[in-house]
Amino acid sequence: MEKRLSEITSEMFQCSNCFESFQLHSHLLKHICPGKLKHIIACQHCGKTFTRQSSLVDHIRLHSGVKPFSCGYCGRAFAKKYNLCVHMMRHKGEKPFNC
């Protein structure tokens, strides 16, 4: 039988198989797939879930406003190194994406 996710309210998540409710989406995911999702990490600010610690660290910077990566040309700062790299390509006249 397929288990589906359904949101009860903005703060509660319910298993549509057994109707047990959880405050965090990550707890519902662990309930549905207990063996597969052992390493899910949830953001303490918003509950968004991640499978890698580095992704959670990047995400938390968005909440805190910390922007440790700054442009050497114009001084603009970014929370993620990738965004700085894309920004730097524009300074150099390079297109960040190929069509």
Is residue 9 scored above 50 in pLDDT? no
Domain ranges of the chain: 38-66, 68-98
Residue pair 57/81 in contact by the 8 Å Cβ criterion: no
Is residue 40 scored above 70 in pLDDT? yes
The span from the CA of 53 to the CA of 44, in Å, is: 13
3-state secondary structure of 64: helix
34 band by pLDDT with thresholds 50, 70 and 90: low
pLDDT tens digits for range 80-91: 899 999 999 989
As given in the structure block, the two tokens for residue 51 are 């499978």
Q: For residue 72, what pLDDT is reported?
A: 94
